[in-house]
Structure 1
Amino acid sequence: MQDTEKFSWFEVPEDVKQLLKLAADNWENTSESEKYINQALAKTGDNIDVLIAAYRYFYYKQNYQMALDTAEKVQAKVKQAERLPDEWEKLKPILIKRKEEQIIRLYLNSYAATGLILAILGKEEAAKEICNKVKEIDDKNDFGAGILLDVLTRPPEEDDE
């Protein structure tokens, strides 16, 4: 069995699976592993599985701008595929109604991830806005936006002396 057969759920050509495996195998050498991730992205365009893998790669490599760009591409891909509206007031009821569907969960996960990355990048107000929106949909806190919002809005602790 080829190593890439472990990723049979990935709906990408074998050569792209090999590039993703090479990126993982070369994790310690960032420039080499990033080269493989970028090649996989170039070969597949906006394949959702590769975008998710790239998001995770960039996030864990602390390349937050690329992680943000990739998370936004995931959102755009889902919005286009599902014909979701841009306006929050029109989008919100659709997300609430369909929040258990895998594709909508993917959208909400990537949107919440965008909030996390914005917070890391110091863009707290934008992060809070996203967290508030996700929290309106996410009554079970599946996407972590409520926790992040709590961290972002918690008053600084006073020193007990």
Structure 2
Amino acid sequence: MSNNRLRSWTARCAVLVGVASAGLLAASPAQAEPLWPGGPDIPGVPAIIPGPVVAPCSKAARVCMQLSSNQAWLMDNGKVVYGPTPISHGRPGFETPPGTFRAAFKKEYHWSTMHHAEMRYAVFFNGDIATHIGPIEEKSHGCIRMTPDGARALYDYVSPGDVFEVVP
């Protein structure tokens, strides 16, 4: 492999893993179209310009949760401001009901006496159903389980009274 080709290949690899330095970038030849704005140039691969993220809820929703896709979004006047983030929901016999609800209260740390489990970053929105950190690989007893990042973002974003929409 020639030195120029080696430099070009090294620069492309460095950009892809996010550790490119200014010297390496200068050594790689410019391509016609970037893969994404500010992203690497890869010969023969057309540019992909991502569109806006869209959630399946109304403009009134501050939180949108879709049970069929196991995803949630934080919303502001119909626009997604965070997400999608992965979730899990109720198992058979403990299904999470779809509908429109309002955040009742939130607790950074809640202990479920019913299920003997901690519920960090809990936001209650439908009686005893809440969003909180939990293993998203398994279904719950009705709550919306979220990753730590997703649960924290939702907890920090919402206030009591905010609209939650749970869609099938």
- For the superposition of Structure 1 and Structure 2, which TM-score range results when normalised by the shorter chain? under 0.3
The answer to which structure has the higher helix fraction is 1
Tell me the TM-score normalized by structure 2: 0.25
Larger Rg: 2
Larger relative strand fraction: 2
